[in-house]
Structures are given as structure tokens and as C-alpha cells.
């Protein structure tokens, strides 16, 4: 083989490698990861569950970001918007969650968060406020784990830290926080509840709330993504397109905060 032919093969290989790497970076050129406001949600109704999709908070076409044969569910965007934690199913025919994963939204790299033996299947994952740790709910117990790139097995959260950990899994409203968004007694409606007082109606025929920055809350009305201010004002519709079947479980990154000068 001539030197020229060898160089041609090398260049072709590098181009192919670059194309493969780009195929795993679905947000490149579409969402400025870590800066631009975005939504990640679950869509699809296959036997194994759905996939994860991303969407600029301003609206537009939904962008698939996972492509595995098993289902993904319960996404939680990191406070800095650069990663998303989620649960993954264990088989092609069962949508029940079996493991916890974190995806770097810039590189597409994924890492599994290992739970201790006997922990039971996970049902929710969230981030601490500083983004350095994850909180996992599994079989009515809470576990804490260092966020990637750190490694290690998640550990049970001590009883004294449980209330703080539970807040990482709740939909907290306002800054400072004054309430949580929860299902009403009439479960097809959404309510807000504070530390004291009775729940108050937030929205009728609504589900799956998500914090939308300091002053708003998002939720689903059927297949429509709505955003409502916490103060005065009416809910608005996020105009999205190319939405898969059964959009659900939205998580929101409100965008990067400008650094003080």
C-alpha cells in the first residue's frame, strides 16, 4: 500500500469518526447547553417506555436526545443545565425503571449511578441546589450520590438530612421558596401548598408541574405545555412541534444567570 493511499484511509477514518461523534451530539447548533433556557421531557409510548427529548424554552421542534431500545423516564436537569439525570428501564418490554443515569448534554456521554445492593428499583432522581450531588428515591428510601464525573456507590441519606433531600425531588416555587406544586385532592388538578394553610388551586385539568425559573411554573394540559406566572397574569402556551406521542414529565433549565460585574 502506498503512503498516499494510507493517508487517504486515515483521513476517511477521521471524517467517519467525526460524523459518528456528531451523531451523538443532537443539541449541537440547536441549543446553547448551559446558557439557553430549555426543557427536557419524555415522549413516546413503546412497550419499553419513551425516549428523552429537548426543546428550547421559547418553543420549536422537539429534539430527541436518547435513542436506546429501553425506556427513559423522570428526567431532571442539573441546576447549571449541562447535564440531565434520568431513570432507565431494564428490558425491552417493561417500562418500569431499573437504573439511574446521568447524561452530559454537551458531549452525549452517559454514566450510571450505582445504587447499593438491595436498594430496590428507583422511582425518582433529583439534584441538590449546588449541582454537586444527586438524590435518588428508591423503595421509599432516599440515597445520595456525588454527581459525575465523581464515581462511587450511592449511600443512604441520614434521617436528619431527609427533609433537605426531599426538597431536591419536589417542585419548589418562588425565590425564596414559598410553596410546592402538588396534585390536588382531585388528582386531575394541580395545587400549590405552603408550609402552613390549605392547598390552593393552581390549574384545572393539569398535571406534571415543573419549576420555571424564579417566578413561574410549567405544567401539561393534555399534550400542551403551559407556563403560568406565580403572580398576576395568564398562562401562556409554549409553541412546540414534532412532539412525540404522550409528552410527559418535563424538567426545566431557566437559563444561565448573568455574572455580576
Which burial class, exposed, middle or buried, applies to 102 when counting CB atoms under 10 A from its CB (0-12, 13-18, 19+)? buried
**Which is more confidently placed, 244 or 259?**
244
Q: Which secondary-structure segment (H or E) carries 116?
A: none
Domains detected in the chain? 27-253 (2.120.10)
pLDDT above 70 covers what percent of the chain? 89
Q: 112-169, pLDDT tens digit by residue?
A: 999 999 999 999 999 999 999 999 999 999 999 999 999 889 999 999 999 999 999 9
What residues contact 49, with CB distance under 8 A and at least 6 apart? Answer: 42, 70, 71, 72, 73, 89, 95
Which burial class, exposed, middle or buried, applies to 253 when counting CB atoms under 10 A from its CB (0-12, 13-18, 19+)? buried
Structure confidence at residue 258 (pLDDT): 56
**74 vs 96, 131, 261, CA distance in Å?**
11, 17, 37
On whether the CB atoms of residues 25 and 240 are closer than 8 A, the answer is: no
Cα separation, 245 vs 56, in Å, equals: 19
Residue 133: all three cell numbers together: 450531588
Amino acid at each position: 500500500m502506498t503512503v498516499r493511499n494510507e493517508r487517504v484511509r486515515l483521513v476517511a477514518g477521521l471524517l467517519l469518526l467525526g460524523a459518528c461523534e456528531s451523531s451523538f451530539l443532537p443539541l449541537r447548533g440547536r441549543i446553547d447547553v448551559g446558557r439557553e433556557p430549555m426543557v427536557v421531557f419524555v415522549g413516546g409510548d413503546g412497550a419499553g417506555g419513551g425516549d428523552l427529548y429537548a426543546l428550547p424554552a421559547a418553543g420549536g421542534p422537539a429534539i430527541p436526545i436518547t435513542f436506546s431500545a429501553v425506556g427513559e423516564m423522570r428526567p431532571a436537569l442539573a441546576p447549571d443545565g449541562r447535564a440531565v439525570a434520568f431513570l432507565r428501564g431494564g428490558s425491552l418490554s417493561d417500562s418500569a425503571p431499573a437504573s439511574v443515569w446521568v447524561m452530559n448534554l454537551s458531549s452525549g456521554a452517559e454514566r450510571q449511578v450505582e445504587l447499593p445492593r438491595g436498594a430496590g428499583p428507583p422511582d425518582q432522581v433529583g439534584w441538590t441546589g449546588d449541582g454537586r450531588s444527586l438524590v435518588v428515591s428508591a423503595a421509599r428510601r432516599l440515597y445520595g450520590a456525588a454527581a459525575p464525573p465523581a464515581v462511587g456507590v450511592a449511600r443512604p441519606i441520614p434521617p436528619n438530612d431527609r427533609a433537605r433531600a426531599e426538597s431536591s425531588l419536589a417542585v419548589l416555587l418562588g425565590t425564596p421558596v414559598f410553596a410546592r406544586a402538588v396534585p390536588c385532592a382531585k388528582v386531575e388538578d394541580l395545587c400549590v401548598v405552603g408550609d402552613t394553610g390549605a392547598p390552593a388551586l393552581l390549574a384545572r385539568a393539569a398535571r406534571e408541574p415543573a419549576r420555571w425559573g424564579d417566578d413561574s411554573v410549567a405544567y401539561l394540559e393534555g399534550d400542551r405545555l403551559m407556563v403560568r406566572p406565580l403572580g398576576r397574569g395568564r398562562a401562556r402556551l409554549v409553541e412546540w412541534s414534532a412532539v412525540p406521542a404522550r409528552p410527559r414529565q418535563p424538567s426545566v433549565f431557566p437559563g444561565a444567570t448573568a455574572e455580576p460585574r
